[in-house]
Amino acid sequence: MTDLMTRPTLDDTHSGGGSDQPPTHIPPVMVKPPRDPRWKRRVAGGAAVLVLIAGGGSTGAVLAEQYLNAGPAPATAASSTVSEGSDLAPIVATVQPSVVTVLVDGARSSSLGSGVVIGANGLILTNNHVVEADGTVSVRLSTGRTVPATVVSTDPTHDLALVQATGLSGLTPVTFATDDTVAVGDTVLAFGAPLGLEGTVTSGIVSALDRTLDTGEEKLTGLLQTDAAINQGNSGGALVDMSGRVVGINVAIATTGDSSGSVGLGFAIPAGTVADVVSRLQARA
């Protein structure tokens, strides 16, 4: 079997498609939207499982099965799961205002990903691959308001970046959980703009802990695995627990064959790693 290396980007119109760009990471609705002709695939060499770095922005990466280190997930008791009577709407209402869409408009293409508010003044956290392409950056709030923004600091190794949106105040920052509160089986919600559909929320559980993905350019370790539907455009969005706390930042999905959509294998950078990286990024911003 061949292993496909895909690095889709965002949408030219900021409404959902993905443009393919050179090596790195992701954005895409299954309505079935017309496929962006820029989504091309490059054949590398061998395996059946592919991994796309999730999220709109510049680049997406697909990893072959041999690059995904499943490793044993710690056996911890699940602390919260969705029951038939669970009401997720209050959690969504609390978190949604803190989730944004990050737009990058370049000379030749435009792209979009997701992000979360970490400062009341418009400081946004997203994936590095969402904003690494050259272009003008802007941020669209959950209210629909779009404002100019600038990239202030990046960490390509951990695929995280800080973006400062201008002219904002009084935003509600997200609250981060601690890694020791996350257990396999916990219910989680994924927020973002998959395929450009802003304000989308999906639900699932934490499927495994401590996954490692090697894109060939960087090695992401300690990732959370989830079966909550994550697609291109979700990159940089929030994965939250039943208390509305961010347990991870969506970064990648795995898929099979020619499929580029979610097959229930999504990955997020854990909150502990995110907190450490954000502290370093803010210190040098």
Q: Which residues are designated catalytic?
A: 129, 159, 235
Q: Is 176 within 8 Å of 271 (Cβ atoms)?
A: yes
Report how far residue 280's alpha carbon sits from residue 156's, in angstroms, rounded to the nearest whole number. Answer: 13
CA separation (Å) from 1 to 158, 167, 212? 30, 51, 22
Q: Is 42 within 8 Å of 50 (Cβ atoms)?
A: no
Backbone angles phi, psi at 94, to 5 degrees: -75, -40
In order, the DSSP letters of 76-129 are --------TT---HHHHHHHGGGEEEEEEE-SS-EEEEEEEE-STTSEEEE-HH
Report how far residue 285's alpha carbon sits from residue 277's, in angstroms, rounded to the nearest whole number. Answer: 12
Q: Is 262 within 8 Å of 250 (Cβ atoms)?
A: no
Q: How far is CA 232 from the centre of its chain?
A: 8
Q: How far is CA 134 from the centre of its chain?
A: 20
Residues 6 or more apart whose Cβ sits within 8 Å of residue 173: 98, 117, 118, 119, 120
